[in-house]
Homo-oligomer: A and B are copies of this chain.
Amino acid sequence: MNLDILKNTFTSNELLTGDFGLEREGLRVTEKGKLAMTPHPAIFGNKLKNPYITTDFSESQVEVVTPAYDTVPKTYAVLEGLCDIVNNEIGDEYFWPQSMPCDIPEDQDIPIAVYEGEKDAEAAMAYRKGLIERYGGKKQLISGIHFNFSFTERFIDKLHDAVAPEKPRKDFKDGVYLKLVRNYLRYRWLVIYLLGCSSALHQSYVPECVRQMEAVGDDAYVLKTGTSFRNSVYGYKNKIFLFPSYRTVKEYTEDVQSFVDKGLISAPKELYAQIRMKAKGVDNILESLEEDGIKYLEIRTVDLNVFDKCGIAEKDLVFLHQFMLYLLVEEESDDADWQKEGLENEEKVAAFGLDPDLMIRQNGREVSMKRWALEILEKMQKMDIELELGNGGVLKVMTDRVIHPEHTYAYRMAEMVKKEGYLNGMMRLAEAYKKESHDTRYLLKGFDNYELSTQILIKEAITRGVPVEEIDPQDNFIGLGKGDKKTYVKQATKTELDNYITVLVMENKVVTKKIMAQRGIPVPAGEEFSSYDEAARRIGPYVGKKVVIKPKSTNYGLGICIFDQGGNEKDLLEAVEIAFEYDKTVIIEEFIPGQEYRFLVIGGEVVAVLKRVPANVTGDGVHTITQLVDEKNRHPFRGYGYTAPLKKIELDEQTELYLKQQELKFGDVLPDGKTVYLRGNSNISTGGDSIDMTDEMPDFFKRIAVEAAASVKAVFCGVDIIIEDYRDEKSPFGIIELNFNPSTDMHAYPYQGTERRTGEFILRALGLIEN
């Protein structure tokens, strides 16, 4: 196997494709950096069933797990989404950014993960208790990144064809991964040097470790040239070193079984390893490895990177992927002591890696770690160019870290701790990450190719452990749940719960009105016209009356004219002409004065009520309208299109005209407290404000909304009601429109008022969550 084979067999796109998965563990802590003693948040559902967010050893140790994706960027983005969810859903707690623990209590007070009611619950807790007995509890709180990787089956196929078509495919594939494992064990020290980020620990950590460190500041201890406590002897490792064979799968499984049989480890999964071979079977791993072969590899070396919200930087992941390709082509030495050498190098680099003169062993010979590292990176750079991987920038960063140890994460972290203190420094970062997650809480990273409403739904599903299948992002089509409960959803509220004709009824304003009227629901009187001439003939009765003239079936307020003081024949017919630009049928309808409210009805219940206010600014006696708009547009919720819950206000011709009618210009300074409306229509899509009114709206009008939705048998329905005075049940009101794909994001992230968890209501209606 050499570079040329890769070059001749694959396109660079194929080389950049694989199956990638990430796991990130992390402790929940109080604002003071103490281990949180609270239970795993109930919103994450059942720990044993939520595939995205669960616990690891401790009840206070959150573990997020991405599904497998075929590119690094997608996998990384989903990890970020998961970290954002944790930051936003753990209340006033924080997600500890470091691998080494926070301020932790003694073993007996460390809360191990609680499992109840499930068939594996007892075994899971017993296993954890055993670990405390054998290794102590504090070391179990060390967290890290697990990087799961495999080539695609198509990649294996092509490689098999190119290299050894005569070999059975399974043996070939196992051979590829075994080579990767052996080489990884040889070269893992490089990962520890480049990505190591646990060079400091807290005084509450295991005393016999702390004792050997240098104290810096009040609460922090460091190893002077260490890169990774976690990967050092001070981290969590087996009591004695075990070297199973990695020559064949069979030899490996036999060795591991013999360790278990001899009582050296309690189960195969207790075998400490920087890289693990994973099989299809989870419970019967050794049998499955033999039978099904190696499915993927799990790399467990990577420390949490405190300088990244996700615990790992995307460039480091890009490096790790190319490192896999490097290990695939790099020739192996036949040194007999390679496993022992690999382990020694690991521990040396973990404890002393920042020493520029550090010597490690290469096939029995002492070599400069720095020189060897540069040699490897040079080969990788050559590979990058040959294979056109586009990783030049990333490799340059890595090379820089070798040349300048002070640029490593480990060095920078130790410096920060010396300056700010251990808990202080870490909590400053944790707080910044939490704020970042909060500010973008309406988005879900990794799924930003979906409309906001679908992102919100996916986010809620992931949070609660409902499996999400991506079906068609362009169409905002997803699958939710599994087995019998599996259901499909388009654009968040198009589901199997609504029947087709209900939707078609709502799509047609005339039909909707007819049916509502037949059911005794109050709707404005009106009639429809299918030509301008017809309207012109019958316009008479509407002259001077309060009317709305609108196209029959468009949305977003386009082509609608309101005559709230009545209009003359000429103006009415002009409005008719405009409306005909949007539809072949036009409606003239009684105008009902008052404020319009959007009632979001889901499954016979009003789950949110919103008032929409036209784009506006309020003066301060100092700033111009343009400046006030700029300021208002800075709100994190304001963006463009389907990507933000509120839209940026645009100062366009229409706004100019609207202001002119009020004798105002963009450059005018508004008096303090004076609110000026910039448009006539209240649509969010033209910069309007959304104000949650769910709690304020009386039940009376909520019941009207529910009845309106029920009249067309709608499960998901946005009911627009105009009410003159919502506080008065006797107030005149009328139902303007039923919407079959109601916006949910404007309720979830209003400009003012309570944020309504629309995703939760949808999942509940679909029977995917119970609580």
Give residues in A with beta carbon < 8 Å to B. 13, 471-472, 474-475, 477, 487-490, 494-505, 508, 510-511, 514-515, 530, 537, 584-585, 713
Contact = CB atoms under 8 A, between A and B. Distances in A.
Nearest to A510: B472
Nearest to A491: B504
A762 B21 CA distance: 49
A508 B585 contact: no
Contacts of A504: 475, 477, 488, 490, 494
Contacts of A508: 472, 475, 477
Contact of A501 (B472, B487, B511): B487
A766 B334 CA distance: 76
Contact of A495 (B500, B514, B530): B500
A167 to B, nearest CB: 24
A181 to B, nearest CB: 32
A12 to B, nearest CB: 11
A262 to B, nearest CB: 46
Nearest to A495: B501
B511 A502 contact: no
Given A471-B511, A488-B505, A497 B496 contact: no
B501 A499 contact: no
Contacts of A501: 487-490, 494-496
A491 to B, nearest CB: 9
A161 to B, nearest CB: 14
A495 B504 CA distance: 9
Nearest to A493: B500
A516 to B, nearest CB: 13
Contacts of A496: 499-502, 713
A96 to B, nearest CB: 40
Contacts of A503: 500
Nearest to A514: B471
Given A477-B508, A494-B500, A496-B502, 17 more contacts: A471-B510, A471-B511, A471-B514, A472-B508, A475-B504, A477-B504, A477-B511, A488-B501, A488-B504, A488-B505, A488-B511, A490-B501, A494-B501, A494-B504, A495-B500, A496-B501, A500-B502
A514 B471 CA distance: 8
Contact of A474 (B474, B497, B514, B585): B585
A140 to B, nearest CB: 40
Contact of A499 (B475, B499, B511, B584): B499
The listed residue with most B CB atoms (<10 A of its CB), out of A504, A505, A537, is A504
Contacts of A515: 488
Contacts of A502: 496, 500
Closest 6 A/B residue pairs (Cβ): A496-B499, A498-B500, A496-B501, A490-B504, A488-B501, A500-B503
Contacts of A500: 494-500, 502-503
Given A494-B500, A499-B497, A505-B488, A472 B584 contact: no
A472 B496 CA distance: 25
A511 B479 CA distance: 10
Nearest to A11: B537
Contacts of A471: 510-511, 514
A154 to B, nearest CB: 10
A286 B606 CA distance: 50
Contacts of A511: 471-472, 475, 477, 488
Contacts of A537: 13
A504 B504 CA distance: 13
Nearest to A500: B498
A510 B537 CA distance: 49
A538 to B, nearest CB: 9
7 contacts: A475-B504, A475-B511, A487-B501, A488-B504, A488-B511, A494-B504, A496-B500
Nearest to A584: B474
A502 B502 CA distance: 14
The listed residue with most B CB atoms (<10 A of its CB), out of A474, A488, A537, is A488
A512 to B, nearest CB: 10
Nearest to A475: B508
A116 B537 CA distance: 52
A514 B502 CA distance: 26
Contacts of A488: 501, 504-505, 511, 515
Contacts of A514: 471
A537 to B, nearest CB: 7
Contacts of A477: 504, 508, 511
Nearest to A508: B475
Contacts of A495: 499-501
A505 B508 CA distance: 22
Contacts of A474: 530, 584-585
Contacts of A505: 488
Nearest to A471: B511
A749 to B, nearest CB: 25
A429 to B, nearest CB: 39
A540 to B, nearest CB: 9
A13 B504 CA distance: 33
Contacts of A490: 501, 504
A537 B511 CA distance: 48
